[in-house]
């Protein structure tokens, strides 16, 4: 099948490469010509495991191509995916400008039947808005062309996006038109061979499914973080509590890890957008508001622990930070807990020396050159001469450090474990003062 993908970010590029990998002819289009030039050379402009080799292999095979030519893109694909960003507006609503711009672009060049499939995370009712936009643009041209609009949300985790696309848990197709549903079933058949993974429904239900899934996962994280605060006050160990409740098959262990809050491009933005959409239809989403409030407070937990340890006197101190991305296996620092911690430390007069396996360039882009930030090229270099070490992102490379070496490098053996990666007893045996989350 010939496929067009509008947008070459995390979602669009992963979709394009994976659809090409199973034999489709895929043309990815973006308005950023510099990005298109890099992608045409096989250079992926962000870090995502396994993605760059996949892009390069399919470029060589001739199944994947990149363009900034919208007319060529619309002419190419029977299925036209919209996979552009939907950032938050100031009021929390999802900004649909880019989605609707793509719809207008498709309509300007539409001549034959196309399925317009929305992969972007969008509020309930967007498929109808996209269809109305297509009709209005066609009418303005005085043209007629058939199309169907389908909601086809993605459920990709940054850091595991290629695997998630190639081996999905489910494939949600929100379609009113049998013809469009049949085409998408055909397209996704290679990803659904082991057992039936396609869940077909109407577009509004598909749009809500995406938001509901992210809201549920965020709720589990905030629930455990609130329990962690309670565990500390009561002298309980939240890690033992996690094991105790996760053993219940009705609950399970997934997304029950306490820590210093969640960030990224999805959960915070999608919670705000869902709350805003609920308010538009007269529903006060109290649980979602609480999930968001708990998370914002949790992102400051590490700073408060550090501040208490030093008696509120942080001016002139140097803190080593391990992990800057919002989660492991990505360079994405959008709404990352590390940013909240660093900015609070700077406001208190402290310096930061940080290391991350993938997000160093992103940190330089965000913060530029500043005297109170040093980006070290090695985790132990980050710890050298620091007054304490804070682990913020649980990259695998941080899981088994040389504690004896760390103790000699740090000015004082103080460790703030923002993800409960380490066994407190082991860390203390090495002579460290240990501060975890939800641990007595």
The two structure tokens encoding residue 8: 């070459």
With left for phi above 0 and alpha for psi between -120 and 50, is residue 302 left, alpha or beta? alpha
The residues, ordered by sequence, that sit 6+ positions from 110 with a Cβ below 8 Å of its Cβ are 74, 134, 138, 143, 145, 147
Exposure of 198 by Cβ count < 10 A (0-12 exposed, 13-18 middle, 19+ buried)?
Answer: middle
| CB contact at 8 A, 386 and 407 | no
Helix (H) or strand (E) holding 81: strand 79-82
Closest-CA residue to 281 (of 100, 125, 113): 125
Give the whole-angstrom CA distance, residue 258 versus residue 246: 13
Single out the catalytic residue among 29, 73, 84, 266: 266
User: DSSP state, 45?
Assistant: S
The two structure tokens encoding residue 208: 């809500």
Give the whole-angstrom CA distance, residue 319 versus residue 416: 10
Is residue 260 flagged as an active site residue? no
List active site positions. 266
């Amino acid at each position: 099948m010939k496929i067009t993908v509008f947008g070459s970010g995390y979602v669009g590029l992963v979709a394009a490469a994976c659809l090409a990998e199973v034999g489709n002819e895929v043309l990815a289009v973006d308005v950023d010509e510099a990005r298109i030039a890099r992608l045409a050379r096989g250079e992926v402009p962000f870090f995502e495991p396994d993605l760059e080799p996949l892009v390069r292999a399919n470029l060589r095979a001739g199944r994947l191509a990149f363009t900034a030519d919208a007319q060529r893109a619309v002419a190419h694909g029977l299925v036209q995916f919209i996979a552009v960003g939907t950032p938050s507006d100031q009021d929390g609503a999802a900004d649909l400008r880019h989605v609707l711009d793509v719809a207008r672009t498709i309509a300007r060049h539409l001549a034959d039947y196309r399925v317009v499939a929305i992969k972007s995370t969008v509020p309930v009712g967007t498929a109808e808005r996209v269809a109305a936009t297509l009709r209005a643009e066609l009418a303005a041209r005085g043209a007629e062309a058939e199309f169907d609009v389908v909601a086809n949300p993605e459920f990709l985790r940054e850091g595991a996006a290629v695997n998630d696309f190639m081996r999905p848990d489910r494939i949600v197709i929100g379609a009113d038109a049998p013809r469009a549903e049949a085409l998408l079933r055909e397209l996704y058949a290679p990803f659904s061979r082991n057992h039936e993974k396609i869940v077909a429904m109407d577009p509004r239900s598909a749009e809500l499914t995406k938001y509901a899934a992210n809201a549920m996962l965020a709720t589990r994280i905030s629930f455990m973080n609130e329990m962690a605060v309670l565990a500390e006050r009561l002298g309980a160990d939240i890690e033992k509590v996690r094991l105790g409740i996760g053993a219940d098959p009705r609950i399970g262990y997934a997304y029950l890890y306490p820590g210093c809050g969640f960030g990224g491009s999805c959960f915070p933005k999608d919670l705000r957008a869902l709350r805003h959409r609920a308010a538009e239809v007269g529903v006060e989403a109290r649980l979602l508001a609480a999930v968001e409030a708990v998370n914002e407070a949790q992102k400051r937990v590490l700073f408060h622990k550090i501040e208490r340890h030093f008696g509120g006197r942080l001016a002139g101190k140097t803190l080593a930070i391990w992990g800057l991305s919002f989660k492991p296996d990505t360079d994405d620092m959008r709404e990352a807990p590390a940013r909240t911690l660093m900015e609070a430390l700077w406001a208190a007069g402290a310096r930061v020396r940080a290391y991350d396996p993938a997000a160093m360039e992103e940190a330089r882009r965000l913060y530029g050159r500043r005297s109170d930030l040093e980006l070290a090229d090695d985790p132990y270099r980050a710890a050298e001469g620091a007054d304490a070490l804070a682990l913020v992102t649980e990259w695998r490379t941080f899981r088994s450090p040389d504690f004896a070496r760390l103790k000699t490098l740090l000015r004082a053996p103080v460790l703030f474990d923002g993800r409960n990666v380490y066994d407190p007893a082991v860390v203390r045996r090495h002579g460290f003062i240990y501060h975890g989350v939800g641990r007595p």
